[in-house]
Amino acid sequence: MASSSFQAPKGTRDIFAPQSTRQRTLIDLFADTVERANYGQISTPIFEEIGVFLRLGESTDVVTKEMYDFEDKDGRHMALRPELTASVVRAFVQHRPTLPWKVWYEGPQFRYEKPQAGRYRQFTQVGIEALGTSDPELDVEVISLAADFYQRLGLRDVTLLLNSLGDPTCRPAYLEALETYFRDRIGDLSEQSAVTLETNPLRVLDSKRPQDQPIIDDAPLMADYLSPELTEHFGRVRSGLDQLEVSYELSPRLVRGLDYYTLTTFEFAANALTSSQNAVGGGGRYDGLAASLGGPDTPGIGFALGVDRILLACDAEGTFPEPTTAPDVFVIDVSGANVALSLTAELRTAGFTADRAWDNRSMKAQMKASDRSGAPYGLIIGEDEVAANSVTVRDLRGDTGQQLVARDDLISTLLGLLDPK
RNA sequence: GUGGUCGUAGCUCAGUCAGGUAGAGCACCGCGUUGUGGUCGCGGAUGUCGCGGGUUCAAAUCCCGUCGGUCACCCCA
């Protein structure tokens, strides 16, 4: 803790068992959920040419203020990925897989933000992206998969917020109306919102300042400006969600932070999280992104879910507990003959998880260690056992006592007592 | 990035208001005789009181700075 010693960089943390095990379990559950829908895993580099991310939008903090960018030794301007959609679409444009293309991912992302609980400079997201069709039923599939996943985790109090942001054919008229509306009231807006208005009127809707609320409440709605086709698309998304019994709230003010979103946009808020960092996931359509990255004009939709925040929400709801990690057996060796060394290796080869005590400690100390390990059985080897070429198998959890087992029968005896992992 | 708040043993915290050079619980280690843990009893180790500077005879305690956590805004997962 002294200033001369190192600590994890601001906004980052060390995660170890059992939390790390829990995180991996969560990711496994996510993989299972989306692989049932035929999404395949994609793994992209953790850094890209910065241009890949500049398409996220010039009015977003993620791009303008929060990028971890650097020059590599050849002078290329690179950046650690602040999100994964852009990387996935870059991979799509580069490889041109057959359509529709459905992928899922997990991994760390980086944003230079001021940290807070649930907001880190390195954070983990899981997500999916699907490119190649504008079918509104794809929107429904994507959204419902996220909802399914929360449900499988045991999260109950998650609200799905839904909106349509229009597209280049109808959004400009809305933006104009919105800008005019806010300009007429700029004197009543907060200073911050007045600045935001200059770069992106849409995002003023996102302001949480009390001063802005009455003005935002009466602002024009995108829904009134959607083209007939998009109104139809949005209607089919909603009826599809109804059909699958995925409940949602229409949220006409929902504005996503990244500029590439079009049409369907959504966000999941965990109500158990009391802080303002309660968005545990979000996503939407980005029909122009592939083209803007130099590829064919291909529609796409996806979402990203914040693993760190989801786990905080699980804690708040008291669900998805940490897995208990205990070995099957724990070896106590007081023989002075190094039996533990070969015995643990033999047990592991046979499929058991096995740990042991070290440093030739006393019987009492080794028994204590075995108890603490959580293992259901302790294997005791002393001089007597060595002489009899056997092992004492002791029940550490129940009351069945202990039995002397011939070394040759040990594995089969243990197989009768527990299932190897 | 702006503002608030907190920072004492591995963990949770008391002590800070009224300055006199560190405590509790849990965890850890050992002992309770001959090879047996979990309960109990006894004993033990561990902190330059986040870091740096200032005021003072004297600072965990007061002042300034800094780093980190956290809360609100901002932003977003």
Domain-wise residue ranges, chain A: 19-170+226-317, 329-417
pLDDT of residue A3: 37
Residue carrying the six token digits 């939709």: A301
Whether any strand B atom is under 7 angstroms from the Cβ of A304: the reply reads: yes
Cα A106 to Cα A213: distance, rounded to the nearest angstrom: 36
Residue nearest to nucleotide B51 (CA to C1'): A3
Query: Which single residue has its CA nearest the C1' atom of nucleotide B76?
Result: A257
A273 touches strand B (CB under 7 A): no
Q: What CA–CA distance (Å, rounded) separates A397 from A351?
A: 21
CA A156, CA A271: separation in Å to the nearest integer?
9
Q: Order of strands, edge to edge, in the sheet holding A354-356? A: A354-356, A329-333, A377-381, A390-395, A402-406
pLDDT for the residue numbered A379:
97
- For the record, the structure tokens of A76 come out as 């290329």
As assigned by CATH, the class of the A329-417 domain is alpha beta
CB A54 within 8 A of CB A64: no
- The residues near A195 (Cβ < 8 Å, ≥ 6 apart) are none
What is the predicted pLDDT for the residue at A2?
Answer: 37
Tell if A73 CB is < 7 Å from nucleic strand B: no
The C-alpha angle with vertex A291 and arms to A287 and A295, in degrees rounded to 5, equals 125
Which of the nucleotides lies closest to A382 (Cα–C1')? B35
- For nucleotide B68, the protein residue with its alpha carbon nearest to C1' is A10
* Neighbour-count burial for A270-283, b at 16+ CB within 10 Å, e otherwise: bebbeeebbbbbbb
Instruction: Answer yes or no: are the C-beta atoms of A263 and A287 closer than 8 Å.
Output: yes
Residue A213 CA to nucleotide B58 C1', Å? 56
CA distance A71 to A126: 28
Q: Does A348 contact strand B, using a CB cutoff of 7 Å?
A: no
And the tokens for A223?
């829904």
Residues of A 32-51 whose CB lies less than 7 Å from any atom of strand B: none
| Residue A421, pLDDT score | 57
Burial of A144-158, coded b for 16+ CB within 10 Å and e otherwise, reads bbbbbbbeebebeeb
- Give me the average pLDDT of each 10-residue run along chain A (421 residues): 68 92 96 98 96 82 85 95 95 96 97 93 97 97 98 95 92 91 89 85 87 90 94 97 96 82 94 87 94 94 96 92 90 93 96 93 94 95 94 91 94 88 57
Q: Does residue A209 lie within 7 Å of nucleic acid chain B, judged by its CB? A: yes
Distance, Å, A7 CA → B48 C1': 18
The number of CA neighbours under 13 Å toward the Cβ of A73 is 0
Cβ-contact A50, A67 below 8 angstroms = yes
Q: What is the CA radius of gyration of chain A?
A: 28
**Predicted pLDDT of residue A187:** 86
Across A273-320, the runs of DSSP E, i.e. the strands, are: 279-285, 300-306
A355 CB below 7 A from strand B atoms? no
From A146, A328, A47, A31, select the one nearest A23 (Cα to Cα). Answer: A31
- Asked whether A131 and A295 are in contact (CB, 8 A), the reply is no
CA–CA distance, A174 with A226 (Å, rounded to integer): 8
A11 CA – B24 C1', rounded, Å: 32
Please, which residues have CB within 8 angstroms of residue A291's CB and are 6 or more apart in sequence? A297, A298
Q: Is the CB of A379 under 7 A from strand B?
A: no
- Residue A2, CB, strand B, below 7 Å: yes
Protein-proximal positions, strand B, CB < 7 A: 1-3, 9, 28-31, 35-38, 48, 50-52, 67-77
- CATH number for domain A19-170+226-317, candidates 3.30.450.20, 3.30.930.10, 3.40.50.720, 3.40.50.2000: 3.30.930.10
For residue A1, the model assigns a pLDDT of 37
The nucleotide whose C1' lies nearest the CA of A62 is B75
Chain-centre distance of CA A214, in angstroms? 35
